[in-house]
Amino acid sequence: MIFILLYLAKKFRMKNKIKNKVKGSDILQLEVVAIGGYEEVGRNMTAVNVDGEIIIFDMGLRLDRVMIHEDSDVSKMHSLNLIEMGVIPDDTVMKNIEGEVKAIVVSHGHLDHIGAITKLAHRYNAPIIGTPYTLELVKREILSEKKFDVRNPLITLNAKETMDLTPNLSLEFIKITHSIPDAVLPVLHTPYGAIVYGNDFKFDNIPIVGEKPDYRAIKKVGKKGVICMISESTRVNFEGKTPSEGVAASLLKNDLLGTDNENNGVVITTFSSHIARIKSITEIAERMGRIPVLIGRSMAKYCGIAEDIGLVEFPKNTKMAGDPTSVDRIFHQVMKEGKEKYMLVVTGHQGEEGAVLSRMATNKTPFRFERHDQVVFSADVIPNPMNAAQRYMLEARLKLAGVRLFKGAHVSGHAAKEDHRDMIRWLNPEHIIPAHGDFNLTATYAKLAEEEGYRLGEDVHLLRNGQSLKFERII
């Protein structure tokens, strides 16, 4: 009881102090805290402090730091170990930030944005706000967590909707496109203007699943006034514009419909959360007269949820196999009835040991590769030596079995340089903070911003994890 009272008294004093400061000097107190994702691609987490009211954006994992991939499990590991290993954001910097966390906002369901929620969210007395698909994925993460009890309320906010967070702050979700459904561009409306969290997005006018980005809403926010934009920079070093998901569908058709594969096995591997890509694949299977089968724990999870909440409709004869028993069963069936009747969509595009494709290639499933079977990699190799080595081994094994490999059918889910330039022009932010990359990427973004009239250190800022930027301005 005494502890509770002390806590409340402390809280009250802190609130008063901040209030007085604002009232007394009429100075805008706005601070952006770079917690994770400012020295790497991954473990995204940013806090924005507006007059003592703090909003956290994303809590993600760094996927390459340990052998973590879509099929692996960090549920038993402790936050402090994971922070030390650089796997999750080091949010201990939050101790030095004066104010109260009012909400944790998640931009989309990729693990580098939601994967640390189960390890960190319980430390904050605040709800988690996201779109329906993102929150379903958050729920699954919470259910599989074995170390911490995450009880933060989950609040759904749909794209195109706005909700009040406090009397001074409201949150708008603008429809955006990415490589997972239901991704949004969160906009925090403050009494001093908007703060836009652009982490991650692409501008895709043929997204296959879901709608195009809401360009009108983006421009409207820009016209009203943006104080600060935090933007991803993972693909800013690519010239031009990132191709649409419609282009990936055409590339897949080229590989699958344009190859002599009528009597052979056809296996495709891609990101389990890339529902648009998987939808294109299943539709091509239908055209080829094959039954699409989605195989692997994460494949069944991401696709199952997307179908359950009505985001996507796969062809009626589509089968899913997630747990090891049903995976084995479906492979037996395929081998018995004939590979040429099926199209297998499997996990393991990076060559991950333990994922379905590697297990197939090493004969750990009832499936057997034969000469002239076709394997399509609808994903890029994520550039780190571990992935490169694993992919090399997988490909070598497949080639030894006489399998035909196809690798080009992929487009990125991240904005390229000219997409970013459009975003800057539409939002016209007073300040820009590039995120989601190390110096090589964030500095490339800063250079682009300079081309658009910004100046490093004045209105485009490079932060490292743990650093923060204070905007103080007399209003």
Q: What does the per-residue mask of binding to Zn ion show for 386-425, with x meaning CB under 5 A?
A: ----------------------------------------
Residue 105, marked binder: no
110 assigned ligand-binding residue? yes
Which element (helix H / strand E) includes 54?
strand 53-57
Q: Is 413 annotated as a binding residue?
A: yes
Q: Please list every residue from 98 through 117 that binds Zn ion, using CB under 5 A.
A: 110
Show the binding pattern over residues 198-237: x = contacts Zn ion (CB under 5 A), - = does not: --x-------------------------------------
Whole-number Å distance between alpha carbons of 293 and 223? 47
Cβ at position 110, least distance to Zn ion in Å: 4
- Is 332 known to sit in a ligand binding site? no
108 annotated as belonging to a binding site for a ligand: yes
Among residues 110 and 189, whose Cβ is nearest to Zn ion?
A: 110
Strands (E), 126-238: 128-130, 154-156, 162-164, 170-175, 184-190, 193-198, 226-232
Alpha helices in 130-191 (DSSP H): 132-144
CA–CA dist 102, 99 (Å, integer): 9
Q: How many residues touch Zn ion (CB under 5 A)?
A: 2
Residues 165-204 that bind Zn ion (CB under 5 A): 200
Check the annotation: does 349 bind a ligand: no
| CA 97 – CA 374 distance, rounded (Å) | 55
Distance CA 324, CA 296 (A): 8
Q: How far is the CB of 185 from Zn ion (least distance, A)?
A: 12
Tell me whether residue 112 is annotated as binding: yes
Q: How far is CA 91 from CA 34, 61, 80, 175, 228, in A?
A: 10, 13, 10, 28, 21
- The residue among 369, 371, 374 whose CA lies nearest residue 406 is 374
Least Å distance, CB 229 to Zn ion, is 17
Any idea what DSSP says for residue 40?
Answer: S
Min CB(181)–Zn ion separation in Å: 12
Looking at the Cβ atoms of 29 and 350, the one nearer to Zn ion is 350
Where are the extended beta strands (E) located within 281-430? 291-295, 319-321, 342-346, 374-377, 404-406
List, as residue ranges, the binding site.
108, 110, 112-113, 178, 200, 410-414, 436
Chain residues binding Zn ion by CB under 5 A are 110, 200
List, as residue ranges, the binding site for Zn(2+).
108, 110, 112-113, 178, 200, 436
